[in-house]
Amino acid sequence: MTQPSSAEHVEPPLVELRRIDVAFGGVHAVDDVTVNLYPGEVVALVGGNGAGKTTLIKTLSGAHRADSGAILIDGEPVNIATPRDAKALGIETIYQTLALADNIDTPGNMFLGRELTTPWKTLDDSAMEDATRKVMGRLNPKFTNFKASVSSLSGGQRQSVAIARAVHFNARILIMDEPTAALGPAETAQVADLIRQLKQEGIGIFLISHDIHDVFDLADRISVMLQGKLVGTVDKDDVTIDEVLAMIIIGKLPGEVTRKELEELHG
Amino acid sequence: MSDTRVAERAAEPAAPSRPRRNLAGRLLRATEVDTRLLGMIVALAVIWVIFNIFSGGTFLTARNLWNLSVQTAVVAIMATGMVLVIVSRNIDLSVGSMLGMVGMAIAILQSEILPDWLGFNHWAIWIIAVVVAIALGALVGGFQGFVVAYAGVPSFIVTLGGLLMWRGVAWAMASGRTIAPMDGTFQILGGGARGSIGSRASWLVAILGCLGAIAMLVSARRQRRRFGFPLRPMWAEVTMGASGCGVILASVYVLNHYFKPAGLAEGRTDIAFGIAVPVLITLGVAMAMTFFANRTKFGRYVFAIGGNPEAAELGGINTRWMVVRTFMVMGILVGIAAVVQVARLNAATTGLGTLAELYVIAAAVIGGTSFSGGIGTIPGAVLGALVMQSLQSGMVLIRIEAAYQDIIVGIVLVIAVGIDTVYRRRMTT
């Protein structure tokens, strides 16, 4: 039940977060959690507020160090101390906050920390704008506002800048923390299409989402967290939405939960 | 294919159903000129005209404008660095005291230490003094930046401590004396009778500046064409080039019409001062700082940190080291400003640079630098310094009492920032 799809894979997983622990003061934000991800797979991380999803994923994106545990890529242990380390390993992250510098234009944000330079070591703004226009042409063809600072963009446009940044650098592993939170229905559908397209290209995606329907729509497997602990990982095709909700809310696996408890969820 | 797409894109801005604007509006749009900067230039022009009327025509004379250009130099040089410090969400209150300490150090060096070793007016003295000023500034600035970035002490506190400490060091070094005179060559860096480049060299600078401005416009246009980006209309480019050149040539024309008194020019009265050396230094500093701010990773990171420190960190930027570097740049500029100030006064007093921090911060802020971080321009800060200095020397010229001068400067500062805040709120909503 915990690893239903792993039988198909003879290769080691693309990523494995093994027995990760993160504590803030006395609070165990992430407590002995193990999750993994295969190429071309979407694994959804779900759980209530404060379940530890974002903290767990930050250990992979280099924004926060784990107190203990290991991160393995292609079966090899790696050391991720900074966001730069993560990016060097092909891990790109779309943060819930988007992590955009509002005062800088779209190309500047796309290449933040990885600017293209001319042979004289000066910023090559034209080349960066050119690359940005190309990526945006694919992701959001209606986007034309390349010179304005991102503070003047709509929520959806800002989101597409954050997504474009993650996609542009040929990520192997993509972390999406609430990628559709700021979006309307049409834009959400666009992101869903993008996720399917990236999957086709063999990219592994960790998807954090509050929207259980999105999760069922896009994910292959679902890992559920509650109060810092992993409740379990299930194959989407083996479970119902109610069973996943039971995992999220009362922390019981589909086999353990009673009919009465399931009914109470709707009460 | 790319050609048709370019054409479509270029047509887009006209697409919204907004009614066609008047000529000025179209000009602003097409040239993509910074409207806030333009507003400041207009404000400056208004100030000049008002002072000229009330002073009976003495404000807008070549002599007064030449003096204004020299008096602005010290604050303008430091304001270009203060922009970056404030943009990265920090502040440097220590620049006035640092200027005093660095100025005192190089004054003692060239009037009491080096002559014993090299002899009076040795050719190397001014070079050593300048190098020491810059190195000392970088060291002190870098030290303050290090404490801010790595010890996590707020920059307000660190530099408030610096304000007290460096003033104390300046006092202790000279035991309260005034140090004078300075090396002969060194004095040229401060302007004055010998510290100007004369009319012929000034015209040369103007022509070079003009050609440089045109070359930049041409290369930017070529670059955009190479990538197939939308281009500015040709008439807009020509307007920009012409107005840029016009300003440069007009400024030099004015500076070339302030003539040396007969006593300084072998009895002749037709020898012009031309551009003063400190003004040239200021222009050089402003251009270099604009380059760093806009064209290098360092500048981009400073702005990113100011806009969203967390995003900068997540982008892999070493934000702490960037803070150290910003303060170091500030320190270097304080060193340069100290050279100009000491050379101009031909002396170092213990009060050297007192209150300069406030003028420098005011210049940066009047020039559109936002205290919430992430926003500010170098040309704006230089203009801000010019506005501040125009107010001060204008008020002296029309004989407003010192107490009222301070009141007026204070009011103008608050009003300028108030207008800017309202303008910015309009732009974002």
Going by C-alpha positions, the residue among B140, B36, B143 that lies closest to residue B98 is B140
Residue in A61, A63, A104 closest to B304 by CB: A104
- Return the pLDDT at B287: 96
DSSP code string of A5-72:
GGGG--SPPSEEEEEEEEEETTEEEEEEEEEEE-TT-EEEEE-STTSSHHHHHHHHHTSS--SEEEEE
Does the pLDDT at position B385 exceed 90?
Answer: yes
User: Tell me, what DSSP letter sits at residue B179?
Assistant: B
* Structure confidence by residue, pLDDT tens digits, A43-60: 999 998 889 999 999 999
* pLDDT confidence band for B427 (50 / 70 / 90): low
Measured distance CA(A9)–CA(B138) in Å, rounded: 58
Going by C-alpha positions, the residue among A195, A144, A189, A200 that lies closest to residue A174 is A195
Report the percentage of chain A scoring pLDDT > 70: 96
> Which of A114, A126, A158 to probe by mutation at the B interface, max B CB count within 10 Å?
A126
Number of domains comprising chain B: 2
* pLDDT confidence band for B12 (50 / 70 / 90): very low
Arithmetic mean of pLDDT, B226-235: 86
Same domain, B250 and B375: no
> Which of B8, B287, B313, B314 to probe by mutation at the A interface, max A CB count within 10 Å?
B314
* Structure confidence by residue, pLDDT tens digits, B68-87: 999 999 999 999 999 999 99
B contact set with A (CB within 8 A): 9, 12, 32, 223-224, 226-227, 229, 291, 294-297, 300, 303-304, 306-308, 310-317, 374-375, 428
The complex scores an ipTM of 0.89
Does the pLDDT at position B14 exceed 60?
Answer: no
Arithmetic mean of pLDDT, A14-33: 92
DSSP code string of B91-134:
----HHHHHHHHHHHHHHIIIIIHHHHH-TT-TTHHHHHHHHHH
Domain assignment present for residue B27? The answer is: no
Same domain, B115 and B231: no
Arithmetic mean of pLDDT, B336-352: 96
Going by C-alpha positions, the residue among A251, A239, A261, A173 that lies closest to residue A4 is A239
> Which of A82, A103, A165 to probe by mutation at the B interface, max B CB count within 10 Å?
A103
Arithmetic mean of pLDDT, A179-184: 80
Closest CA of chain A from B339, distance in Å: 29
CB contact under 8 A, A113 and B308: no
Does the pLDDT at position B134 exceed 90?
Answer: yes
Report the percentage of chain B scoring pLDDT > 70: 94
* pLDDT confidence band for B218 (50 / 70 / 90): very high
Of B245, B275, B305, the position where a domain reaches its end is B275
Same domain, B128 and B156: yes
Measured distance CA(B296)–CA(A122) in Å, rounded: 5
Phi/psi of residue A73, each to 5°?
A: -120, 125
Same domain, B220 and B249: yes
Residue type, B145: G
Residue B87 sits in a domain whose CATH number is: 1.10.3470
Token pair for residue A67? 């107190």
Same domain, B204 and B191: no
Domain that holds residue B371: 6-11+34-195+277-428
Domain assignment present for residue B399? The answer is: yes
Same domain, B235 and B328: no
Domain assignment present for residue B18? The answer is: no
Same domain, B216 and B153: no
Domain assignment present for residue B1? The answer is: no
Same domain, B266 and B306: no
Contact A257, A240 (CB under 8 A): no
- Return the pLDDT at B2: 39
Does the pLDDT at position B5 exceed 60?
Answer: no
Arithmetic mean of pLDDT, A149-178: 90
Same domain, B143 and B167: yes
Domain assignment present for residue B24? The answer is: no
Domain assignment present for residue B177? The answer is: yes
* pLDDT confidence band for A4 (50 / 70 / 90): very low
Report the percentage of chain B scoring pLDDT > 90: 73
Arithmetic mean of pLDDT, A98-121: 94
Arithmetic mean of pLDDT, B393-413: 91
Does the pLDDT at position B10 exceed 50?
Answer: no
Residue type, A183: L
Same domain, B157 and B295: yes
CB contact under 8 A, A83 and B313: yes
Q: What's the mean pLDDT when you consider all of chain B?
A: 90
Contact A46, A40 (CB under 8 A): no
Does the pLDDT at position B13 exceed 90?
Answer: no
CB contact under 8 A, B296 and A122: yes
* Structure confidence by residue, pLDDT tens digits, B268-304: 888 899 999 999 999 999 999 999 999 999 999 999 9
Does the pLDDT at position B170 exceed 60?
Answer: yes
* pLDDT confidence band for B29 (50 / 70 / 90): confident
Does the pLDDT at position B37 exceed 90?
Answer: no
Does the pLDDT at position A222 exceed 90?
Answer: yes
* pLDDT confidence band for B205 (50 / 70 / 90): very high
- pTM for the model stands at 0.90
Of B251, B275, B299, the position where a domain reaches its end is B275
* Structure confidence by residue, pLDDT tens digits, B258-270: 998 887 777 788 8
* pLDDT confidence band for A131 (50 / 70 / 90): very high
- Return the pLDDT at B421: 82
CB contact under 8 A, A93 and B314: yes
User: Tell me, what DSSP letter sits at residue A217?
Assistant: H
- Return the pLDDT at A9: 59
- Return the pLDDT at B21: 55
Arithmetic mean of pLDDT, B114-129: 90
Of the ranges A184-193, A197-206, B135-144, B260-269, which is most confident? B135-144
- Return the pLDDT at A267: 62
Does the pLDDT at position B404 exceed 60?
Answer: yes
Token pair for residue B207? 């022509």
Domain assignment present for residue B342? The answer is: yes
How big is the A-B interface in CB pairs under 8 Å?
A: 84
B222 vs A contacts (CB less than 8 Å): none
Arithmetic mean of pLDDT, A86-103: 93
Of B243, B275, B307, the position where a domain reaches its end is B275
Same domain, B106 and B76: yes
- Return the pLDDT at A254: 86
Q: How far does CA B375 lie from the centroid of its chain?
A: 16
CA A36 to each of CA A94, A214, A234, B211: distance values in angstroms, whole numbers, following the listed order: 19, 20, 12, 61
Domain assignment present for residue B302? The answer is: yes
B216 vs A contacts (CB less than 8 Å): none
Same domain, B283 and B348: yes
